[in-house]
Amino acid sequence: MVVWQVQQPLKGSNHDFKYRLYCGRRGKCLVRYDNEDGKGDHRHYGDREEAYPYVSLEQLILDFLNDVKRLKR
Q: How many domains does the chain have?
A: 1
What pLDDT, on a 0 to 100 scale, did the predictor assign at position 55?
97
The pLDDT of residue 73 is 75
Beta carbons of 10 and 39 less than 8 angstroms apart: no
* Predicted TM-score (pTM) above 0.85: yes
Q: The domain containing residue 54 runs over which residues?
A: 2-72
The C-alpha atoms of residue 56 and residue 28 are separated, in whole angstroms, by: 27
**What span, in angstroms and rounded, lies between the C-alpha atoms of 36 and 47?**
18
pLDDT digits (tens, 9 = 90+) for 11-68: 999 999 999 999 999 989 999 999 988 889 999 998 899 999 999 999 999 999 999 9
Coil, helix or strand at residue 27: coil
Q: Helix %, strand %, coil % for the chain, to 5?
A: 20, 45, 35
